[in-house]
Chain A
């Protein structure tokens, strides 16, 4: 019972902190969005040149370092890796293609719902169907093979890299890009964002919070532990949005969102499915990357590269809706995910 109470409190704090971040300057319904923030970082370091989404988001750095610090303190930091890293890299690119079709990762999806954006409901429907497909393959024996122990330093590298990224943000050299308008220009102050990231990172590390894990475990094992965290974020962000006067119910004209139902559904369908194959949502990948899991580091790098691809190839949707390129990319990604799912299922392995 104590465990469940902790994850409900964690979800509540994340919901409230997310709305506070919006109050303090972050884009609307985007207190946290792992996909959007990694996309901003990709822009900040010049991997794409979409001028409105370039910023080094301290929340991301905080999430990684918060998880790193707490995992180290509790002796849970362990360098591991080698579980089909390149497959994970490709799957993560696919997760980002789906997320930037919908305009948000699973965490922003529920924060959007908490802010009254009803398109998020269609996103959630797609997300759940995607998870169901992923679970189908898990039951068919899908896995990406075991990981192995790595040297301690291998695991330290990513937290060190994030510290370096924070120094770059503080020094703001000319080769780092910062949006002057658009979502990339909307942010809370550096230290507040970092602190929010550290707190949420530590809480998520402690509770193993995962947006995709909630629905997955409920279907697979009738275990509602992670789902309680997911639901708590919705409830508390809703309450906080109401209190701050940010709540705005409806489908149309929602902040940094479009209302094309089919593509919102398919975008999150892809995110749900590919995230089940990866073993966790983008937030969980960031937390694991701070705990020394270098397979998750590869996933995070895949998300960043995916974001760069999305903006360089015109795949990312915008408030005016999806692009044709994005629709084609989602279609191709569904086929690739199907191939990855089938090839790594045990039926296939036995035949080999």
Chain B
């Protein structure tokens, strides 16, 4: 599964990067985010776009997996 790293990017870059990556990999991707705001924004975008999301926490980062 393709994985994108949005750590350090400020609003709205994590969502933009997610959107772009999904256009190339519509079946699903994993997204690494490093703050709760980005996590919330990315999850909201994925849910609005019809993806199911799960997340796991890893040190200071979250890994969101988006699947059709």
The closest CB in chain A to the CB of B40 belongs to A208
Do A280 and B11 have beta carbons less than 8 Å apart? yes
A3 contact set on B, CB distance < 8 A: 44
Q: Does B37 contact A (CB under 8 A)?
A: yes
Q: Does A73 contact B (CB under 8 A)?
A: no
Do A146 and B35 have beta carbons less than 8 Å apart? no
Do B16 and A138 have beta carbons less than 8 Å apart? yes
A83 to B11, CA, bound (A): 12
The closest CB in chain A to the CB of B45 belongs to A221
Task: Please judge, given known A-B contacts A143-B9, A295-B10, whether A220 and B16 are in contact too, CB under 8 Å.
Answer: yes
Q: How many A-B pairs with Cβ below 8 Å?
A: 50
Q: Which of B10, B40, B45, B48 contacts A279 (CB 8 A)?
A: B10
B10 contact set on A, CB distance < 8 A: 83, 144, 147, 279, 293, 295
Do B35 and A78 have beta carbons less than 8 Å apart? yes
Q: Does B7 contact A (CB under 8 A)?
A: yes
B26 to chain A, nearest CB (A): 16
A144 to B9, CA, bound (A): 8
Task: Please judge, given known A-B contacts A78-B35, A223-B48, whether A147 and B16 are in contact too, CB under 8 Å.
Answer: no
A78 to B33, CA, bound (A): 14
A260 contact set on B, CB distance < 8 A: none
A136 to chain B, nearest CB (A): 13
B7 contact set on A, CB distance < 8 A: 146
Interface string of B1-27 (1 = CB under 8 A from A): 000000111111101100100000000
Task: Please judge, given known A-B contacts A220-B16, A221-B15, whether A147 and B45 are in contact too, CB under 8 Å.
Answer: no
Do B36 and A76 have beta carbons less than 8 Å apart? yes
Judged by DSSP, the binding face of B is helix
| CB within 8 Å of A: which B27-67 residues | 35-37, 40-41, 44-45, 48
A293 to chain B, nearest CB (A): 8
A213 to B11, CA, bound (A): 9
Interface string of A201-232 (1 = CB under 8 A from B): 00000001010010011001111010000000
A213 to B44, CA, bound (A): 14
A144 contact set on B, CB distance < 8 A: 10
A251 to B44, CA, bound (A): 39
Q: Which of B12, B35, B37 contacts A217 (CB 8 A)?
A: B12
B19 to chain A, nearest CB (A): 7
A146 to B11, CA, bound (A): 11
B25 to chain A, nearest CB (A): 18
Interface string of A295-332 (1 = CB under 8 A from B): 10000000000000000000000000000000000000
A84 to B34, CA, bound (A): 19
B49 to chain A, nearest CB (A): 8
The closest CB in chain A to the CB of B35 belongs to A78
A3 to B19, CA, bound (A): 22
Do B12 and A147 have beta carbons less than 8 Å apart? no
Interface string of A225-262 (1 = CB under 8 A from B): 10000000000000000000000000000000000000
Q: List 14 A-B contacts (CB under 8 A).
A: A76-B35, A83-B10, A138-B12, A144-B10, A146-B9, A147-B10, A148-B8, A208-B37, A210-B11, A216-B12, A221-B19, A225-B44, A279-B11, A279-B12
Chain A interfacial positions (CB closer than 8 Å to B): 3, 76, 78, 80, 83, 138, 143-144, 146-148, 208, 210, 213, 216-217, 220-223, 225, 279-280, 293, 295
A138-B12, A213-B11 known; 6 new pairs, CB 8 Å cut-off, are A76-B37, A213-B12, A217-B12, A221-B12, A223-B48, A280-B11
Chain B interfacial positions (CB closer than 8 Å to A): 7-13, 15-16, 19, 35-37, 40-41, 44-45, 48
